[in-house]
Structure 1
């Protein structure tokens, strides 16, 4: 603070070593008089006597010193509470100096208390948060662009409906020619593709028959009569191949089992108990491990599934199985499946040959039709090229007539531009557009005038996108005279 009271309640300035009392709370304050910062008072105890007060910066003190002493730190009592206004002029208007961020609720409370007030924010810490531009320069650029276009093109009034109509006609002709050129290239490419397919129809037919086929545009109308039956044969071939593989793998695993070496039991194979289901107990037997090295091993055959479960898992026995009938059955099944698969492949080839003949006829018919389309496109393009030439000649004549009118119009536009430029400089003098990079939304709720101190100058916030630039001297003079800058 810049003001304190002595023992006689007289206002005193801070001097080196001086003590005083706070005008608001009456508590003791000490003078701080260094060589760098403005001389000021501070409370002896680190407590705020005003709940609204904040740590006072050098910016606060510099602004307060710009006004008469009795305008500074004025105590206002109202509604049973009192607060210190930074600056209040004789007209009763409060100038609230704000350096730090505050909430929208704090803004509302202070504005309701002071009623007649303006805000001055220290914008220097966050000046880079703005994009600011002169509205005079902006409007002049807009005007110059507008007049530049009018002068370059002669103004819309100099291009009559005949030129506009002819240009539209020309653009439409160009668009149609462009479309036809695209169709020409596409159709010519289609002919080349069809000719290539006719060389190897079978190769391309296989691509057509692929599931979810989106292969080239020329097959979209082809509907092979035997496709369903062909796909069924193909699926059966695949399925039988998978079954043959499974059964062959099973047969191989059985054959790879270790053979029994005992005389009369050569058809048995050693197998772990976990690999044999109890229902196969009749095919199995068990050899006692301790007798396995003798000439006459102890062999046990099973009478039931229960008997199998009791003995097969015992660590005292080796489990054996006779897989002869299983092996023979698998070999018969595999042989039968291979014959059946061979017949399916033959039938599939015959169906493919039928569809290949259909596809060949389809491609030949498509080629004839596509060549007719190409000839029609060439004929239409030639007609439009002749029409294009006629319209361009017509436009050239109309432009020559308009040229004389444009030259007269340009003189009038130059004079009009000079007048409008002066009007813009008067209308937008001192006004600046702005955009927040990171908006401080709490100030959107303020209903009082807001000013931003950028150091060299002050900006008054007029609305969400406009500032008015004010010099510091003009700001202070207006406020000192009791007005709103």
Structure 2
């Protein structure tokens, strides 16, 4: 043992050979063994049955335990009236047991049931070449890959379909643009005559207005609408104007030969 209890009830390591303390497990006296060959440890003064689970420790045991915090080493655990000394007990309640010699499966099962959450550290120096290792991570990855292989295929297929759909969209948009261009050309061919009519109507109306203004004619506002109609409507309005002129001179005060000039302009 590397730990014992002093007269103040504290867990201590041996500091000199012959130092006396008591075993924290069985309460019997232990003596310090502090030589130059073995790691310093405690030894029972009298041969007593302490923890039956504890075996004769070697330097291998002690070196391993020394790698952990002092308070974690050789901790007594009591459960349901039964107690044992754990090599290491962490603050999180994890037990670590160091096993240097052979142990039966039944003994392993009993200790694991008592400690609960635990880890075994085995000295395999004498039989390490007989061990068969297995890469757990690769096995698990293979199972995951097999499990999701169908889903991966589905995702790839879906992505491929989606990509093809995206590729088709530009060609569809190009076709739609061409169709719109054709429709626009047809509309322009239909509207072109109306543009010509309007231009002719504006020119026709401006010529009439210029003649009237040059001859100082008085123009009824209701007749001004001819400047905004197409050529056909303008001509009809002019015909009505000429008829009104012949029947009544109320609309226009025409000096000289203005009426004949208007007649000529119409022809």
User: Which one has a larger percent helix, Structure 1 or Structure 2?
Assistant: 1
The higher relative CO (CA closer than 8 Å, separation ≥ 6) is in 1
Larger Rg: 2
TM-score w.r.t. length of structure 2: 0.48
